[in-house]
Structure 1
Amino acid sequence: MDIKNIRQEMALLDDVIPLEGHHYAACLQTYEAASSQRKLILEWFTNHVIPQIPRDSASFLSIGCGAGELDVKILAAAKEQASTIAYVGLEPDSKQCERFTASMALPSDQNIRVETLNTNFEKYTEQRRFDRVLMVHSLYYMNDPERAIEKALNLVNESGKLIILIASNDTLNELSSSFWQMENGGSTWFSEDLSKHLDKRGVAFDRHRIKAKLDITSCCAPESEQGIRIADFIAQAPTGELPPGLRTMIFSYLEATSHLDGEMRWLPHNVDAFII
């Protein structure tokens, strides 16, 4: 099964319903549970980011923080390094904001201040500067990635860093980019695009590859709810709303491009971490 065949079938569609709301959150949770990436990202933050934050007072801005599953662990690690912490989460989805607030709630810790802002990054107008600005898998959703990067850099203080985690454009993301292009009328950025942009602008950065795997075994089981959610998140569209032929092609593509390890089928789920 070739991605070109899927794109040809997609070209026949009038429209694609985007993945959003409660279904998006459910698919994201299932997708992340099937991947080793979250644990490896936390290990990378613990080894490469947290040791470099100021020891007296540290501030974070997490752009596209979601429900805060990663942020709460980053905060816990930062508590071991800094005496006081200000942590701001920025998220456009109100339900995800509520989950972030609940996840980050700490019992009367006077040395930690957590704030949640329910807004798009494009509409964020505050001028506070931070020690660390985090964009973990959020650059894809920016209408203008170049402008978003410049804006994020302007929110970093003199000794601070912008941390961007973004996937490489490998087999796993060919489906995502195809559907993103149809839904949004343009292509999304991956790590290769970010690297080229920073090189062009003469911006210095360090780049680290975090190698992970996504277990798609359930995607090969007929009518598996877990498999459907994983496929929906990969495609960034509810596959059940697609024509049956196209839906079958998507699941066949995932199986054909996967690696078999015993009874487990997996796809590389790598992410590149940029320190700017």
Structure 2
Amino acid sequence: MRARNQLLDTDEPGRTVLTRHLPLPALHPVDYARGHAQFEARSDQRRRIVGWLDARLAEHPAEAPLSVLSVGCGTGAVDAPLAAAAAGRAVPGAVVRWTGIDPHGPSAAAFDAAVRHAAPDAEVVARACTFEALDTSDRFDVVTFVHSLYYVPDVLAALRRAVAMLSPGGRLLVLHAPLGALNELAATLAPETDGHPQWWSDTVIAELAGMGLRVHVEELDAEVDLTGCDSADRALLDFTVQAELTDEARPAVLEALRAAARPGGGLRLPHPVTAFTVRPR
């Protein structure tokens, strides 16, 4: 069971006890996708992630074929510009092959359309399945988990499988959230995913430490502006805490967000992401 944040679990006078509102139901996939799109539109994190990933992919020789597996590809908002840039760098004859998997069928279909449109010369494969259910003997130069490793039932098993899918000289690139002020709300309120707690970047660090790999870790700073989220589509605030909020719980969540916001007006919160570059020895 996930550990509850102690500051949010207190009965101090004047402090809302968020855990009084538990349990909360999980988000429906359609509501999740809608809230995700709204949340990302208010954050500069995606731009930083795309820039970081593109810099890693640019290290691949332009004259060599490139194969990428995007685990939890969503609608392709991250992969489409990356595939376009990679295809633009490739010399004639160097095939770029981009595979995306996502358990949400409509998202996988949107990924397929987005990447094909952005990189018409690339070979694109989209599959609606979980990483555990992916049936392939293919090997990849790059495997990415962009905010998707949270949903695997076993982090260590997923990392081992991803590394085993790498071609010689290949890299595993993981973008994963640390347990900061914003994510403490999700850690407190979100229901467990398929019977397991939410994994944060400290879990990824701990599991990688015992695998005998070359690992480089850095943190990308980012910010999300949730100003006006109290009057916006309900899906935005629900996605922020990864749960379907009741009317009674929403004021408590807004209070916690205001307490964690950066000074200077509005409702701007730190939204960093931990970036991992993993190579087999």
- Distance of aligned partners of 1:272 and 1:183 in 2 relative to their CA distance in 1, 3 Å threshold: closer
* SS, match of residue 106 in structure 1: helix
Aligned residues: 263
* SS, match of residue 105 in structure 1: helix
**Which amino acid is the alignment partner of residue 251 of structure 1?**
L
- Distance of aligned partners of 1:145 and 1:104 in 2 relative to their CA distance in 1, 3 Å threshold: same
Candidates 255, 259, 269, aligned match of 1:267: 269
Matches within 5 A, 1:64-103: 64-82=72-90, 83-103=94-114
CA contact (8 A) 1:176 1:235 kept: yes
Where structure 1 has 5 or more consecutive residues not aligned to the other structure, the ranges are none
CA contact (8 A) 1:258 1:267 kept: yes
2:226 match: 216
- Distance of aligned partners of 1:108 and 1:77 in 2 relative to their CA distance in 1, 3 Å threshold: closer
* SS, match of residue 251 in structure 1: helix
Where structure 2 has 5 or more consecutive residues not aligned to the other structure, the ranges are 1-5, 11-16
1:36 match: 44
Q: How far apart, CA to CA, are the structure 2 residues paired with 1:19 and 1:92?
A: 14
Candidates 237, 240, 245, aligned match of 2:243: 237
1:170 paired with 2:176, answer no
**Which amino acid is the alignment partner of residue 51 of structure 1?**
A
Deviations 1:99-146 (A, max 9, x none): 11221223994x410010111111112111000001100000111111
Q: How far apart, CA to CA, are the structure 1 residues paired with 2:177 and 2:118?
A: 35
Matches within 5 A, 1:248-267: 248-261=251-264, 263-267=265-269
2:14 match: none
1:63 paired with 2:71, answer yes
Q: How far apart, CA to CA, are the structure 2 residues paired with 1:214 and 1:164?
A: 20
Q: How far apart, CA to CA, are the structure 2 residues paired with 1:142 and 1:167?
A: 15
1:4 match: 9
Structure whose residues are more often helix by fraction: 1
Candidates 225, 238, 241, aligned match of 2:232: 225
* SS, match of residue 25 in structure 2: coil
Q: How far apart, CA to CA, are the structure 2 residues paired with 1:171 and 1:7?
A: 14
CA contact (8 A) 1:31 1:229 kept: no
Q: How far apart, CA to CA, are the structure 2 residues paired with 1:107 and 1:186?
A: 36
- Distance of aligned partners of 1:195 and 1:183 in 2 relative to their CA distance in 1, 3 Å threshold: closer
**Which amino acid is the alignment partner of residue 50 of structure 1?**
L
- Distance of aligned partners of 1:124 and 1:217 in 2 relative to their CA distance in 1, 3 Å threshold: same
More divergent stretch after superposition (74-83 vs 203-212): 74-83
Task: Report the Cα offset of residue 52 of structure 1.
Answer: 1.6
More divergent stretch after superposition (182-191 vs 23-32): 182-191
Task: Report the Cα offset of residue 7 of structure 1.
Answer: 4.9
TM-score by length of 2: 0.87
Q: How far apart, CA to CA, are the structure 2 residues paired with 1:183 and 1:189?
A: 10
1:54 match: 61
Task: Report the Cα offset of residue 201 of structure 1.
Answer: 2.7
**Which amino acid is the alignment partner of residue 20 of structure 1?**
H
CA contact (8 A) 1:180 1:186 kept: no
CA contact (8 A) 1:198 1:204 kept: no
